[in-house]
Amino acid sequence: MENEKIIIRPLLTEKSYSGIANKVYSFIVAKDAGKIQIKNAVEQLFNVKVAKVNTCIIKGHKKTQNTKAGRTVGKTSDYKKAIVTLTPDSKTIAFFDSLS
């Protein structure tokens, strides 16, 4: 699998902003990607050294909407989140530097 297809996009939440100072970054990744593939993709895309990778699958939430025709029920999609910790001697990721 290609590196660009493994890392889908960065995850920008209040909790992920607090980890930027400690070189901890969050990404939404492909569901079938393993920790080793995620580590290699981050190292090659951003030219950094990764210390560890934690992953979890986030289940989608139920959504309801009341309309004139009645109530419709839906669900947001599931996704996989990767929390990447860089080594202390590694440089930071430039994209996240502008956010903190």
Taking only the tens place, the pLDDT of each residue in 5-61 is 999 999 999 999 999 999 999 999 999 999 999 999 999 999 999 999 999 999 999
Query: Averaged over 74-90, what is the pLDDT?
Result: 95
Every domain of the chain and the residues it spans: 3-90
The whole-number pLDDT of residue 81 equals: 97
Residue 100 pLDDT more than 70?
no
Q: Are 43 and 50 in contact (CB under 8 A)?
A: yes
CA distances from 54 to 5, 37, 70, 90, 93 (A): 18, 12, 42, 18, 18
Give me 38's structure tokens: 């995620």
Domain spanning 3-90, CATH architecture = 2-Layer Sandwich (3.30)
Confidence (pTM): 0.87
